[in-house]
Amino acid sequence: MGANKLKARRRQSRRKLREAERRGDDDALQRAQNDALARACAAGDETKMKNAMDCARATHAIERVAQEAEAKGVDVGGKKLNALADVLSACETGQGPADVQDETEKVDEEREKFEQHRVENGAVLRGKYAGKLGRKTVTVDGPLLLALRKKGVQDQAAYRERGYVPKDYDGTEEEHRVEFGKKQASQLAYMRGLRRLAREGIDSATLLPDVVPVYRVDLGQLFAVNSHLEPPPDEKRELYETPDEAFAVATRWREFWDKPRDAVRAAKAARGGVLNVHAHKTKDDLFCVKYSNKHKGKSCFVREPGTGGSWYYDWDAALDLKADYEKSNKDASWFVSATEVKAATKASQKASLMKGRASQKRKRET
């Protein structure tokens, strides 16, 4: 039995919920419900309005049942995540949560029946198992199929523990780790090369919002929609020859999800963009001035010498700083010390970690 779209949709929803939990974002599902209700109201679709409100009721019911089960000492972590993932899928597709759950459970039942049939009557295997015997396909009985599955689980656990081992490798464990490290370094270097080629000759300051450059060895320079913007359910991600095509697709996706474009980047695009002036990552309408520098031990952030404090400014102050730096001798005194950058990064990471722990503590208390 091949891959199923409903199972893939549930896996994607589970991934989104896990990522939100790691970020300490407790309102991700609530925002999805509010967005679904807003889209339904804008379209005047009463059925989708009812489904969006059913999603909110289903979320509260799932949380209540999970709390009662945990109070009795029953572990419902996986089942709870599946149920919330179905609610998230319902919000994104406009369906009712019960309908999504029924569809997915029906696929689960069909898969269980299919797997039970294979165990009772044998199965035809393709791929690596048949390849080891020099054949394209091989037929196995039920006990052998279960034994191969068990061995596959053990092999995956061993792979996660020690990494990839080349075929017919007879070296020591330490030699294997060294070779595995070399293989990983080679792959990382290859991906860095592709990213470098993707941005070669492209000024990120003037790149259209929601558009990222991509390099394909067989097709050359292409463009794609940024991964933070999800496609509608009936569309999939593609590559485009020009940034304008990718920008038009991103705009259509934002209109579908009713998500306003980032105000800072949109304003910057309207101004035409300024080289070496970049928006703050937290999207608080602040900007920093960055330059590639040759001063060892210094970062690329620019600040008025002797001022201290933050190196983020509003738009007009950032432009004034850029003009002052261009007129100066551009020595090392303009650059923020690496120690300050590391300290600020460490403080930001610590604050994010404390926020996540506080979120987990509130969940345990409830």
Residue 109, pLDDT score: 86
pTM of the model: 0.44
Q: What share of the chain is helix, strand, coil (3-state, %, to 5)?
A: 60, 10, 30
Tens of pLDDT, residues 167-207:
556 656 666 667 777 777 888 888 888 888 888 877 766 78
Residue 12 has pLDDT above 90, yes or no: no
Q: What whole-number distance in Å separates Cα of residue 112 and Cα of residue 68?
A: 29
Cα 303 → chain centroid: 33
**279 token code pair:** 């928006």
All residues at 6 or more sequence positions from 348 whose CB lies less than 8 Å from its CB, including other chains: none
Rounded to the nearest 10 degrees, what angle do helices 77-93 and 46-71 cross at? 170
pLDDT given at position 162: 67
Q: Residue 68: what are its φ and ψ, rounded to 5°?
A: -65, -40
Integer Cα distance of 338 and 300 in angstroms = 9
DSSP classification of residue 72: T
Q: What are the Cα distances from residue 122, in Å, to 142, 144, 279?
A: 5, 9, 60
Residue 169's pLDDT is: 61
Rounded to an integer, the average pLDDT of 140-146 is 82
What's residue 266's pLDDT? 62
Indicate the residue type of 46: E
| Residue 98 CA, distance from chain mean position | 27
What single letter denotes the amino acid at residue 178? V
Which residue's entry shows tokens 């999504």?
Answer: 100
> What does the domain layout of the chain look like in residue ranges?
5-117, 122-162, 274-366
C-beta neighbour count of 182 within 10 angstroms: 10
pLDDT value, residue 240: 92
Task: Provide the β-strand partners of residue 234.
Answer: none
- What percentage of the chain carries pLDDT values higher than 90? 4
pLDDT in tens, 248-270: 999 999 888 888 776 656 666 66
Q: Is 264 helix (H, G, I), strand (E, B) or coil?
A: helix
Per-residue pLDDT tens over the stretch 310-356: 888 888 888 899 999 988 888 878 888 777 888 887 887 888 888 87
pLDDT digits (tens, 9 = 90+) for 51-64: 888 888 888 888 88
Residues in the chain: 366
Dihedral, CA of residue 138, residue 141, residue 144 and residue 146, to nearest 10: 110
Summary mean pLDDT of the chain: 81
- C-alpha distances (whole Å) from 154 to each of 149, 161, 276 are 9, 11, 51
Q: What residues form DSSP beta bridges with 313?
A: 287
